[in-house]
A = this chain, B = another copy of it.
Amino acid sequence: MMSIPRRALIGVLGGMGPAATIDFMIKMLKATTAANDQEHVPMIVHDVPQIPDRSTAIQNNSDEPWLPLLAGALMLERAGAELIAIPCNTAHHWYERLARSTNVEIVHIADAVNWSIKTRFRRINRLALMATRGTIQTAIYGERLADVVDQLIIPDVSIQNLIDQSIGAVKSGARPLAAMLAGDAAGRLLDAGADALLLACTELPVALEGSHYLGRSIDATDALAHHCVRTSISRLLGRQEAPSTIV
C-alpha cells in the first residue's frame, strides 16, 4: 500500500522559449520540498515553441500568437489542469482574452511578482523593467505592481537594444553572449539609480544564471514557480483534504 499525497495539477503554457520553460520547471522543483517522486508537483507542459514571436507581433499590431496560445490553453484544460501558468511575460498581452476563454484559473505573472515583492521587501522604490519591447508596450506590469513599486523605470533605447539581443541569444543557444549583453544592461540600469531589477522576460534569468546581478533582481519566473508550488500543495483550489490512498 502506498500513500500518494494530493497535489493540484498545474498546466504550463510554455515553449516561449523552450529554455525558459525548462528554467521554470527547475524553479518549481527547487521550490518543492520532497522526499520522493510522488511528493513533487504534477504538471502538464505544453512546450510548443512554434507559437509566433510575441514581441514582434505586438510591435506589428498582429494577432498571430492568439490562436496557438488559445489552442495550448484549451489543451491544458482538457488534460485536467487546475491552474494554468504562462512562463512568458510577453504572452500576457493575451492574458485577459485567455482568462475569459478557458474555465481554468490562469495566474498572471505580475500578480506572482507582486506577492514576491510584498513578502520579501514590502515595497521597492525604483524598479527597472528588463523585458521585451512587447511587454513594455503592453504595460503588463504597470497597474498590477502599483501598490508595491513607487517607480517602474523603462530602459532607454541603447539599454533596450542590449536586452533584446540578450533574449535572442538565449533562444539561439548562445549563452555566453547572452550573459555578457544582459550583464551590461543590468549594470547600466543600476548605475542609473535603479534599486532593483525586474527580470520580466523568462529568457533573462537564463542569461544571467550565476551572475551577481541576480542578488539585485526580482526573477519573475521564480515568483511564478513559487506561486504554482504553493497553490498545488496547499490545495487552495478546494480539493479534498485527506490524502488519497492506492492499495
Contacts and interface: CB of A to CB of B under 8 A. Distances in A.
Interface string A197-229: 000000000000000000000000000000000
Contacts of A44: 44-48, 75
A239 to B, nearest CB: 13
A38 B7 CA distance: 32
B64 A40 contact: no
A63 B36 CA distance: 19
Contacts of A52: 2, 4, 38, 246
A49 interface: yes
Interface string A1-18: 010110101000001111
The quantity of this chain's copies bound in the complex is: 2
Interface in A1-60: 2, 4-5, 7, 9, 15-19, 21-22, 25-26, 29, 34-53, 56
Contact of A246 (B56, B64, B79): B64
Contacts of A172: 34-36
A75 B15 CA distance: 19
Interface residues of A, number: 46
Contact of A16 (B37, B56, B78): B37
29 contacts: A2-B53, A4-B50, A7-B50, A15-B37, A15-B40, A17-B37, A17-B40, A18-B40, A21-B25, A25-B25, A25-B47, A29-B173, A34-B173, A36-B171, A37-B51, A38-B49, A38-B50, A38-B51, A41-B49, A42-B48, A42-B49, A43-B45, A43-B47, A44-B45, A45-B47, A52-B246, A75-B80, A78-B79, A79-B79
7 smallest CB-CB distances across A and B, nearest first, come from A45-B45, A17-B37, A42-B48, A37-B49, A40-B49, A43-B47, A18-B40
